[in-house]
Chains A and B, each alone.
Chain A
Amino acid sequence: MNIAVLLRVAWQALGRNAARSFLTMLGIIIGVGAVITSMAIGSGAQAAVLAQIESLGANLVVVIPGAITTGGVSLGFGTKTSLTLADVAAIAQHVPEVAAAAPSSSTNAQVVSGGMNWYTSITGSTPAWQMVRSWPVAQGRFFTNAEVDQVAKVAVLGSTATQNLFPAGGAVGATVIIKNVPFHVIGVLTSKGQSGFGRDQDDFVIVPITTLQERLTGITFNRWVGSILISATSPESVPGVIDAAERLLRIRHHLTAHQPDDFSVRNISDVQQVRIATSQTQALLLAGVAVVSLVVGGIGIMNIMLVSVTERTREIGLRMAVGAKGRDILLQFLVEALTLACIGGLIGIGVGLLTARAASTLGHWPVLISPFSMILGFTSAAAVGVVFGFYPAQRAAALDPIVALRYE
């Protein structure tokens, strides 16, 4: 028997019990749907994290101050003030393989421009920031080292802040008031859009760090900075940079061998790795659901095929009497199980695509549908069909024609 005949016979047999066939497929449909959805959500989350790393710069190393410990209670990293502008300069100068190092301090404030006002984050840094974050200006220019030294009252706006303060345009050249201090707007940054986790990266204003310290936060003693952003020359040099920066800072902070670090140096991609791992765990969980569902679906197929073999015992006997070999009967039922599984697989792909789309539009989850997941889903369905269809098919093929013909 050729494959076209086998498929037609299988199709007819399944069509005779259309409702039963569909119910049998449900397990496969859910399984394949879960495969597609889980992979779409998993790779979507991963892509979002990767995009965020990309926007931060893969070579980025962050130094944050250490924790304040009062009465044995640690308040966590970043609560201590231990990093200074001098540290930033030293790192840029003495640590090898550093492309740029920039300080970063921030505060939140109401920004006023004419009739508009906007509450946003105010970051203070140096021109090196632009290099570390690889973030070009869309209009105007970034501030210069000279302006940092002069404590110039100049500001560069993120695109979201610009849209809210200057909906009609004309930001560059205008003046904004932050905490009663007038700032001259000299530039607008390009838009980076939402980060992978929904935070608007463009909602901020950046000013020279000296200006932030003297005019906005009043922290001038020792020139404390919130954190130091370092850009290594390549992803491979990141570990070396971390190591050298740690040693340099320990020396500069006069720490003895017994004292712990009063700062923490982190590789941003390490932080992101944790997030990737988390999203992968979630995807794995869904994949587990998919596997369980496929196995249950397979058992359903096996069940129905066993029923079908029993119901059609006489048909099998007759087919054998007119010349069907064991192999012909085996193939007939195997193709039937396979057809059942494959149709279920195709419907499952459709369901998976719909679910992923719903997760994206209704749940605002980042999803990424890959052709690979569809191939994987369909192949697993087919494999389930073969594996679980084999036993019933073999039972059919092993029937004794005389017994089968007499079966009532």
Chain B
Amino acid sequence: MAPPGGTADPLIEVRDLTKIYGEGDTAVHALRGVSLDIRRGEFVAIMGPSGSGKSTFMHLLGCLDRPTSGSYRLAGEEVSRLSRDELADIRNRQIGFVFQSFNLLARTTALENVELPMLYAGVRQDERLRRARALLVSVGLGERLDHRPSELSGGQQQRVAIARALANGAPLLMADEPTGNLDSASSIEILTLFRHLNRERGITVVVVTHDMNVAAWSRRVVIFKDGLVMQDRPVEAVVPEAIRAAAGDAPVAQEARA
């Protein structure tokens, strides 16, 4: 069990990261030199208005893209200059993604969706099935293994996506507006699940959001503006207490119910 503020062991070390799209006069400086450390076991919210560079930063952290310059060490490994295939490998082993629109494969069962990252990791079939089943049970979908996305509610679909993100035992969970398509009850379910994974299993959670109610669930809030980190402070310093109270910042042990 990790302490709330994370361990002393850095999972993410970013130094002077820049990202420029295009060239010459039309060049867009999406990131202008960002330095940031995230330790294992942290729960960080990344906020900022659109165009602030938070999405670009998310893509770089998620190894979906390469920076123009700067350094990014993930779990001690320099990943900023890796090839496409090497990045795919890093994503497969180190990072679990949760998207606003769930991005489950349509007409494919929950079980098969969770198996997907393991297919690319070359996990054997019996092991894939065993792990996928256990993960779906752990997110409370043990009764819906063979349901297709169209047969599941939004909250249930997002839980399948979370199970998928955990399939290869990634230490980092990256969520991009994970509650953007959910009603408030489902949102609380999902955020509760994140908190549980963060606290009970020591998984580092990075959530990109523009919603204070979501950020309230984190321990640390990083705010971007104009391609730079404008604020990097504990949640108490950014999110008003009333909103934090709604996030029920209390020990959570009952959230894993079906």
Contact = CB atoms under 8 A, between A and B. Distances in A.
Given A314-B103, A318-B103, A402-B59, A328 B84 contact: no
A5 B107 contact: no
Interface stretch (B116-124, B183-191, B198-206): B116-124
Given A323-B88, A323-B91, A328 B120 contact: yes
B236 interface: no
A326 B85 contact: yes
Contacts of B246: none
B89 interface: yes
B119 A401 contact: no
Interface size class of B (residues with CB under 8 A): 20 to 34
B97 interface: yes
Interface in B104-134: 105, 107-108, 116-117, 119-122
Contact of B119 (A1, A320, A321): A1
A16 B150 CA distance: 15
A14 to B, nearest CB: 12
A324 B92 CA distance: 8
A317 B89 CA distance: 15
B164 interface: yes
A80 to B, nearest CB: 82
A323 B84 contact: no
B97 A322 contact: yes
A7 interface: no
Interface string B154-180: 000000000010011000000000000
Contacts, number: 58
Given A402-B59, A405-B99, A322 B84 contact: no
B93 interface: yes
Interface string B62-106: 101100000000000000000011001101110001010001010
- Identify which of B97, B99, B120 gathers the most chain A CB atoms within 10 Å of its CB: B120
B89 A322 contact: no
A289 to B, nearest CB: 38
Contact of B117 (A5, A323, A327, A402): A323
Interface in A14-64: 16
B64 A325 contact: no
B65 A323 contact: no
Contact of B89 (A16, A315, A323): A323
Interface string B17-30: 00000000000000
A325 B105 contact: no
Interface in B43-65: 59, 62, 64-65
Contact of B84 (A1, A318, A319, A325): A325
Instruction: Label chain A's interface by main secondary structure.
Output: helix
Interface in A192-239: none
Contacts of A315: 105
Interface string A349-387: 000000000000000000000000000000000000000
A245 B74 CA distance: 95
Given A315-B105, A401-B64, A405-B103, A322 B120 contact: yes
A315 B85 CA distance: 18
- Identify which of A318, A321, A328 gathers the most chain B CB atoms within 10 Å of its CB: A321
Given A314-B103, A402-B59, A322 B116 contact: yes
Nearest to B59: A402
Interface size class of A (residues with CB under 8 A): 20 to 34
B164 A322 contact: yes
A26 B110 CA distance: 34
B119 A5 contact: yes
Interface string A315-348: 1011111111111100000000000000000000
A402 B65 contact: yes
Contact of A327 (B59, B85, B93): B85
Nearest to A1: B119
A398 to B, nearest CB: 9
A321 B120 contact: no
A215 B85 CA distance: 96
B120 A318 contact: no
- Identify which of A318, A322, A328, A402 gathers the most chain B CB atoms within 10 Å of its CB: A322
Nearest to B124: A2
Contacts of A405: 64, 99, 103
B121 A323 contact: yes
Interface in A151-187: none
Contacts of B116: 319, 322
A12 B84 CA distance: 28
Contacts of B59: 402
Contact of B92 (A12, A323, A326, A402): A323
B105 A318 contact: yes
Given A16-B107, A314-B103, A315-B105, A323 B120 contact: yes
Given A1-B119, A318-B105, A402-B64, A323 B93 contact: yes
Contacts of B121: 323
A327 B86 CA distance: 12
Interface in A279-314: 314
Nearest to A404: B64
Contacts of B168: 323
Contacts of A402: 59, 64-65
Given A318-B103, A401-B64, A405-B99, A325 B119 contact: no
Q: What are the 5 tightest A-B residue pairs by CB atom distance, in nearest-first order? A: A323-B92, A323-B120, A322-B117, A325-B88, A325-B85
14 contacts: A1-B122, A12-B107, A12-B108, A318-B103, A320-B88, A321-B97, A322-B91, A323-B88, A323-B89, A324-B120, A325-B84, A325-B85, A401-B64, A402-B65
